[in-house]
Amino acid sequence: MTFLTDFWNLNLKEAAAIVNLQEGLRNMLQICVALCIDAYLGYRWMLILSSVLYSAGLVLLAFSVPEYFFNNGKECPLKDCFKTLRHTPFWEGLALLIVGGASQVIPLYSLSFEQTKVVKAPKDSGPTRVKVACCRFVVKLGGWRQFLQKVIRWLCRGFLIMGIITSVYGFLSFKNNWHQRYLASAIAIVIGLLWFLCGFPFYGRRRLQPSPLLTMMRTVIAALQKRHLNYQEHLGQLHRHDGEDQNQLLTDHLEMLNNAAVKESLADDNLPTGNWRLCSVKEVEQSKLLLDLIPMSATFIVYGMVKSLGNTFFLEQADSTSGDIPIIVLQVIKGVTRNAVKGGYKAVFAKRIQRMQRQYSDGVKIGIGMLTSIICCAVASSVESKRLEALRESGLLNDPKARAPISAAWLLLQFCSLGAMEGLAGSGIADFFGHYVPDSRRYGPVFTDTLAGFGILLNIGFIAMIDYYSRFRYKESWVGDSVNESRLDLIYRAYVILAILNCFLYAYVSSSHSYDNIIGKPEDEPEIPFLEVKQEQETVAYELQSIPVR
């Protein structure tokens, strides 16, 4: 955002639209990436492809800085810099960042080695010594999974903290030098990819598997092809895969989909698995579970709209105050607040609510997060009013490059509120999909990011509506060329009204939503095995045995 406004001198509306377009498309493309992973590439090849695309996009952005197109400095000196930006590699790099960013999230989560498989421990099993590299541990066979998860989790946290510290140091070291920032990030991704490729021969062959989204699409298409049938007249001709519950019946809910499980002739028994004309009873019922989530999912879109403020207007506010707190520090504080609120809610409230009514636990968490979004926008409006008042008292209100004589510490509360909203509403939405979506371990986070991305894209239209309303009603634009020439305080008030209306809508929809179809927690599902503890037949020693990873 600041790269586009400070160096390319784009106006506020253009820069916000570009950033929202990049964030929204990146999140929404995760659905397509998930389908591609399950059907064709697998996690490892998708991670390799995404790393190549992402690093290539960063390299193109590194050579789209203004200093390569103007000889008089690092900023665009023209009045209409957007036309010049069209003839730079910026747009090609942005497209690669969108595709590469969407392709990285799912593989990184699934290949984080948090999921392990352990042979069920015998009742009379006792402690045994297990050697990992040069270290020896005394663990029970049944407790090895928890022990391994704790070790890997702390290693991941350690590397994550190292990455945060490195990024903050690099951001501050390469101040106002975006060329070096982009190149350093690209080099870091390439180094990580090379390190990942070092273990490629030991990862095993990829394993492809069916996707619940593809199953839902197959069910809908098969039901439309057989819409002339009445499934109640063919209850003896329902299709079931081998190993499924032969006594499972079709429910009356969304009964138009039930025709997808009806076999019209004996030739249907020879249809291949995954065809688009015949589905099993289990597949039809799983598709109904996904379709039942649409009304609740519609209320999550505003969460993405409010979340996008942290990547656009909030950063411009921070860039227009006195520079005692760098922008990267404010973003780190937001992330720390998000994790702290998420962990605090789980420790203090989650277990109490689950003891009373487990099925309502996710709904309460999301509702509190939506109330926090109202507080976040209200606080941002108050801080912006104070910033504009400080500019007015200093006579700098008409200067688009002026910095308000107030500390950036005033923005801490709104960044913390935004982090709290993400920690409550964001994780609550992920838990909600984790309990009600088939195969939620893989698709819960994907659905959450997709809805947030859709809200971010809608944010472009919402800002355009606010701009049109202000021009029509007050004969002035609330979205000016710069943050000092805009009325972000009034824009934030519009978001407050939108968040309040969404809270009422969510309260109505959630009260009428059926919570009886809970599938379970994501950790209760069949796991993606990476390592297996296996007892040898002739000795009492235990060893780690590599097994294929999909």
* DSSP secondary structure, 129-166, as one string: EEEETTEEEEE-TTTHHHHHHHHHHHHHHHHHHHHHHH
Paired residues of 544 in beta bridges: 533
Residues 403, 329: Cα–Cα separation, whole Å: 18
Query: 508 with 403, same domain?
Result: yes
Query: 302 with 182, same domain?
Result: no
Q: At what angle do helices 361-393 and 488-512 cross, to 10 degrees?
A: 170
Number of neighbours of residue 121 by Cβ within 10 angstroms: 16
Query: 337 with 414, same domain?
Result: yes
User: Looking at the domain assignment, is residue 533 inside a domain?
Assistant: no
Residues whose CB is less than 8 angstroms from the CB of residue 159 and which lie 6 or more positions away in sequence, other chains included: none
* DSSP secondary structure, 477-545, as one string: -SS-SSSTTS-HHHHHHHHHHHHHHHHHHHHHHHHHS--TT----GGGSPP--SEEEEE-SSSS-EEEE
Residues 170, 319: Cα–Cα separation, whole Å: 18
pTM, two decimal places: 0.81
Paired residues of 532 in beta bridges: 117, 545
Count helices and strands in the chain by DSSP H and E runs: 20, 7
The reported pLDDT for the residue numbered 358 is 53
- Give which of 518, 513, 137 is closest to 298, Cα–Cα: 513
- Structure tokens, 429: 């939405």
User: Looking at the domain assignment, is residue 286 inside a domain?
Assistant: no
CB 418 within 8 A of CB 363: no
User: Looking at the domain assignment, is residue 236 inside a domain?
Assistant: yes
The reported pLDDT for the residue numbered 306 is 95
* Per-residue DSSP letter, 37: I
User: Looking at the domain assignment, is residue 259 inside a domain?
Assistant: yes
The H or E element spanning position 406 is strand 404-407
User: Looking at the domain assignment, is residue 155 inside a domain?
Assistant: no
Place of tokens 């008409």: 398
Query: 55 with 72, same domain?
Result: yes
Domain tally for the chain?
3
The reported pLDDT for the residue numbered 400 is 84
Query: 473 with 494, same domain?
Result: yes
Query: 250 with 335, same domain?
Result: no
Query: 448 with 327, same domain?
Result: yes
Give the CB-side neighbour count of residue 336, counting CA atoms within 13 A. 10
C-alpha distance from residue 547 to each of 116, 117, 201, 542 (Å): 11, 10, 12, 15
- Regions of the chain where pLDDT drops below 70: 72-73, 109-149, 203-208, 242-247, 350-360, 438-442, 514-550
Q: At what angle do helices 281-292 and 212-225 cross, to 10 degrees?
A: 110
- Give which of 32, 25, 94 is closest to 64, Cα–Cα: 94
The reported pLDDT for the residue numbered 149 is 67
Query: 35 with 83, same domain?
Result: yes
Query: 511 with 418, same domain?
Result: yes
The reported pLDDT for the residue numbered 537 is 40
Query: 271 with 362, same domain?
Result: no
User: Looking at the domain assignment, is residue 509 inside a domain?
Assistant: yes
The reported pLDDT for the residue numbered 246 is 64
User: Looking at the domain assignment, is residue 416 inside a domain?
Assistant: yes
The reported pLDDT for the residue numbered 138 is 54
Residues 441, 528: Cα–Cα separation, whole Å: 9
Residues of the chain by 3-state class (helix, strand, coil), percent to 5 = 65, 5, 30
- Structure tokens, 511: 């009260």
Q: What single letter denotes the amino acid at residue 514?
A: S
Paired residues of 131 in beta bridges: 136
DSSP-H helix ranges across 262-360: 281-292, 294-298, 301-307, 313-319, 327-345, 351-356
Query: 192 with 249, same domain?
Result: no
Q: At what angle do helices 361-393 and 427-436 cross, to 10 degrees?
A: 160
Q: Choose one of 221, 248, 279: the last residue of a domain.
A: 279
Query: 269 with 391, same domain?
Result: no
- CATH at residue 498: 1.20.1250.20
CB 478 within 8 A of CB 486: yes
User: Looking at the domain assignment, is residue 137 inside a domain?
Assistant: no
The reported pLDDT for the residue numbered 522 is 45
Residues 370, 502: Cα–Cα separation, whole Å: 8
Residues 469, 381: Cα–Cα separation, whole Å: 18
CB 94 within 8 A of CB 61: yes
The reported pLDDT for the residue numbered 137 is 53
Expressed as residue numbers, the domain containing 230 is 212-279
Q: First-to-last CA distance in the chain?
A: 37
- Structure tokens, 121: 């421990």
* Per-residue DSSP letter, 322: E
